[in-house]
């Protein structure tokens, strides 16, 4: 008897089991979900563009800190090398004098020994490396002529001085070796930080680099706005001082001639001082401006490239003022003034560890060598934010 059951169409469910078509679809969905799940962690691990920018900035800052340490170590090494060379020359000269004194003593001892004028002990004394051991023996001293006694005294003096200088030279050589080690360490640190920064930047896509450039432009626009505010503030302060000076002059016009002359002389003295600084500052700024476009190179002092403190040192040197090599020392080489009272030529220092410097040119702007990969340029003192400004120093 034929069955009256109809056959089920393909693809329908039987007792909780899916047909091959549905099973395949399900497996495909699971695989896709699995791939998505596996892909998410990689996306999450990738730093954001802002994080990359901060990391790169931090690396450049660390490289600049290491650069100033390198500059200090290099300067210290140069000075110590000169000191060691001087000491070694002195030791060589004293050694020659010591040998001459020894030969003179030897000739005396040999003559006395040949003629029998002295006992063999006398020759032993005169030729010994440490004749002081016998020096106090009255019997021996009585046998010496005045010239021989003078020769012994000279020998002992030269021997003592030579030993002292040799010790100084040895200690200076040790210090020099330590400074050279510091120099190598600082150089290695700079190179490592710069390599890390370049590696991070090389991993950015073209779109990310464009976005990073846009962020930098926005930062520069804000820095320019702050510079304009500072320029307005300084102009207002200058006008206030001029009005105060005029008022003081009018008030003094009724004073006695003697008082007037005394006051005028004082004012003239201050004007002369300000004029002197302005003249020097003008020369320093002219030099710095002529370097615009030259590359930043860590440890460089010109004439083809500069780091930040190398530029300010060279600029003020052109004005006849000698500045120390590093930012750490330059910040101490002058009078500290407020940013509101900054004059063209003043040095503007940055960051808590004082690792960057530029030369102020007025209107909230400065000329500086910013960082590796950039060039000497004119820029707002707020280029890295108001909080980055450490102090302003007038170097002359």
Active-site residue, 269 included: no
Catalytic residue among 123, 281, 284, 308: 308
Which letter, b or e, does each residue of 301-330 get, where b requires 16 or more Cβ atoms within 10 Å of its Cβ?
Answer: bbeebbbbbbbbbbbbbbbebebbbbbbbb
Q: Is 356 a catalytic residue?
A: yes
Catalytic residue among 368, 371, 390, 394: 368
Catalytic one of 356, 371, 390, 394: 356
Rounded CA gap, 320 and 211, in Å? 45
For the question of residue 390 being annotated catalytic, the response is no
Residue recorded with tokens 């990689």: 42
Residues annotated as catalytic (active site), given as ranges = 308, 356, 368
């Amino acid at each position: 008897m034929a069955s009256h059951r109809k056959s089920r169409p393909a693809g329908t469910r039987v007792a909780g089991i899916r047909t091959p078509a549905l099973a395949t679809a399900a497996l495909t969905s699971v695989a896709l979900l699995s791939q998505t799940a596996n892909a998410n962690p990689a996306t999450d691990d990738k730093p954001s563009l802002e994080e990359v920018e901060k990391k790169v900035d931090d690396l450049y800052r660390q490289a600049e800190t290491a650069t100033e340490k390198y500059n200090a170590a290099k300067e210290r090494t140069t000075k110590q090398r000169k000191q060691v060379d001087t000491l070694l020359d002195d030791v060589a000269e004293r050694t020659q004098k010591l040998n001459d004194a020894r030969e003179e003593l030897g000739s005396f001892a040999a003559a006395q020994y040949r003629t029998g004028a002295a006992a063999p002990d006398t020759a032993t004394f005169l030729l010994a490396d440490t004749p002081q051991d016998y020096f106090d023996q009255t019997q021996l001293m009585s046998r010496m002529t005045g010239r021989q006694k003078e020769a012994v005294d000279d020998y002992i003096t030269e021997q003592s001085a030579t030993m002292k200088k040799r010790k100084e030279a040895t200690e200076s050589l040790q210090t020099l070796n330590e400074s050279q080690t510091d120099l190598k360490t600082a150089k290695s640190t700079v190179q490592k930080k710069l390599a890390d920064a370049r590696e991070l930047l090389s991993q950015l896509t073209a779109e990310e680099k464009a976005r990073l450039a846009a962020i930098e432009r926005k930062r520069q626009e804000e820095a320019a706005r702050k510079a304009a505010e500072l320029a307005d503030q300084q102009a207002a302060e200058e006008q206030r001082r001029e009005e105060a000076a005029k008022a003081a002059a009018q008030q003094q016009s009724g004073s006695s001639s003697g008082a007037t002359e005394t006051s005028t002389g004082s004012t003239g003295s201050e004007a002369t001082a300000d004029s002197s600084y302005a003249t020097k500052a003008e020369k320093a700024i002219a030099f710095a401006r002529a370097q615009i476009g030259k590359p930043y190179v860590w440890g460089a002092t010109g004439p083809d490239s500069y780091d930040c403190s190398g530029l300010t040192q060279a600029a003020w040197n052109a004005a006849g003022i000698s500045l120390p090599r590093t930012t750490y020392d330059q910040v101490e080489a002058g009078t500290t003034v407020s940013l509101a009272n900054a004059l063209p030529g003043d040095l503007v220092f940055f960051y808590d560890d004082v690792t960057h410097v530029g030369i102020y040119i007025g209107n909230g702007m400065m000329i500086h060598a910013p960082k590796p990969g950039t060039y000497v340029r004119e820029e707002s003192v707020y280029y890295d934010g108001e909080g980055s400004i450490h102090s302003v120093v007038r170097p002359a």
